[in-house]
Chain A
């Protein structure tokens, strides 16, 4: 059986700098995979390429056998790969409900004319989307604000809304870019619980994070990037003691100290 997401030899260069260097990995359906690495290791660039926001200079990737290489972002999203953003994004002037409804409406194959005529099919699709949106808002604990503009949310609440939005269209795979960066510890635990719940309900997630403890407790598999290259890939227990990972995070001397001390 082939993996859900297959990434082969992904490469991205900025002039002389190779930001992502020949990275290959698979993600199995139903997994939560962590993607970690020090600053500038190419995590964000990798997912910008995979989601179509940056053109890759090399490599191919596919989702459930469908080649996504060089597609526009909206096509990649419609193919079932969605993402959240490190700088948390929301439609401030739209209500939370509308924020989520937008996230689903390009996936129901309803054309422009029927959308304008607002017939039975559209009403049914909108009602279904609203029901799902309310469910998700309840899951992330924002149900009371369903009709409020997203602008009133706190930073942590916006992160929760972004997670709900990225899962709204029932994508095959979700990439969360730093879901807990800059969030207080209580909110971190809440976000962790939400991610676990979504995973139990069948979502496949790739999580990019700086917060190593968060990743180690959430993921059964972790991929480590350093200076654009993949240096480790395995369960958290092995990653924690991998000498190359320690060297990347702590420097060579630090790694030796950690190994001996």
Chain B
């Protein structure tokens, strides 16, 4: 697609997304949109870390949950504003991400995968077993609707439509940021690191710093999503670190194609809708879900992004004769 066509498609998509609450007050539709907004940012963060820099990370749900707990505790216990609490939660997530990343990446990216998984499990244990801070496994139910204050504006976020705008608005910003990173020369270096780490090193690219950058950005975005989404849930408890979120992110990235920005965005939308599209049959729902995933992997090994890449390869391989360097033509006789 041309750059102009892409821009038009993005604008049309944004207009459509933001028009949804005007067209319907159906809570169910809005809930799907909110879930898409939140999950797509988590998947986008994982894609940045795994799809672009090659680090399989199970830690993303930890950044999400830490952002959520920090925001809730700062708002409920200390009376902070939502802005400040969410920002602090994101900052805490980044600090933790740097700690997890720096300590394990000095060994290898495999060590990182294991440490990230342990970290996510540890988060849930801390949330459950530190009741003085987190209220333990009971959690904090009945979270009050948060208020966003901007100069000249007080926005009490109560209705699903409010949460829809809040989370969709942040999702747009988050994906915009990710897009800027992955299409910049930094994104090019990240892909180089994933595709061939020693070669990248031999060209002056420092894998550790790019990976920490990707990890920090994803932690910040996931932390903010956690801090916002939790008030929509109206309850926080250790299940905010549930493997369900990790699973959803992983499936979105795998089906979308690691390293494919648009692929992962598209698959996030499908993954948000699919479980509910299958709701017509409660008995077979999970079976059909599994069948859909297997079918997707058979038709699109490497995800949507992998399919696009293979098409690109085929295009270059097919007209081989035309692409071969042409032998110099003999000069025409005068």
Instruction: Check B204–A107 contact: CB distance below 8 A.
Output: yes
Instruction: A103 to B163: give the CA distance in the assembly, Å.
Output: 45
The reply on B205 being an interface residue by CB < 8 A is: yes
The reply on A126 being an interface residue by CB < 8 A is: yes
Which residues of chain A have C-beta atoms less than 8 A from B294's C-beta? none
The reply on B288 being an interface residue by CB < 8 A is: no
Which residues of chain A have C-beta atoms less than 8 A from B186's C-beta? 112, 115-116
| Chain B nearest Cβ from A90, distance in angstroms | 7
The reply on B7 being an interface residue by CB < 8 A is: no
Which residues of chain A have C-beta atoms less than 8 A from B180's C-beta? 116
Pick from A94, A116, A126: contact of B191, CB under 8 Å = A94
| Chain A nearest Cβ from B191, distance in angstroms | 6
Query: Interface residues of A, CB < 8 Å — how many?
Result: 44
Query: Which of chain B's residues 148-203 have a Cβ closer than 8 Å to chain A?
Result: 180-181, 184-186, 188-189, 191-192, 195-196, 198-203
Instruction: Check A105–B199 contact: CB distance below 8 A.
Output: no
Instruction: Check B192–A151 contact: CB distance below 8 A.
Output: no
The reply on A149 being an interface residue by CB < 8 A is: yes
Instruction: A143 to B324: give the CA distance in the assembly, Å.
Output: 10
Pick from B199, B205, B323: contact of A89, CB under 8 Å = B199
The reply on A172 being an interface residue by CB < 8 A is: no
Instruction: A237 to B191: give the CA distance in the assembly, Å.
Output: 46
The reply on A83 being an interface residue by CB < 8 A is: yes
The reply on A40 being an interface residue by CB < 8 A is: no
Query: Interface residues of B, CB < 8 Å — how many?
Result: 31
The reply on A252 being an interface residue by CB < 8 A is: no
Instruction: Check A116–B184 contact: CB distance below 8 A.
Output: yes
The reply on B280 being an interface residue by CB < 8 A is: no
Query: Which of chain A's residues 83-128 have a Cβ closer than 8 Å to chain B?
Result: 83-85, 89-94, 98, 101-103, 105-107, 112, 115-116, 118, 122, 126
Instruction: A74 to B259: give the CA distance in the assembly, Å.
Output: 24
Query: Which of chain A's residues 135-191 have a Cβ closer than 8 Å to chain B?
Result: 141, 143-145, 148-149, 151-152, 165-166, 168-169
Closest to B177 in A: A116
Pick from A90, A107, A126: contact of B196, CB under 8 Å = A90
Decide: A85 near B199, CB < 8 A? Known: A74-B206, A106-B205: yes
Instruction: Check B213–A105 contact: CB distance below 8 A.
Output: no
Pick from B200, B316, B324, B325: contact of A148, CB under 8 Å = B316
Instruction: Check B191–A91 contact: CB distance below 8 A.
Output: yes
Instruction: Check A105–B189 contact: CB distance below 8 A.
Output: yes
Instruction: Check B181–A94 contact: CB distance below 8 A.
Output: no
Which residues of chain A have C-beta atoms less than 8 A from B189's C-beta? 102, 105-106
Which residues of chain B have C-beta atoms less than 8 A from A59's C-beta? none
Interfacial residues, chain B to chain A (CB-CB below 8 A): 180-181, 184-186, 188-189, 191-192, 195-196, 198-207, 213, 259, 309, 312-313, 316-317, 323-325
4 smallest beta-carbon distances between A and B, as pairs = A106-B204, A77-B204, A73-B201, A89-B199
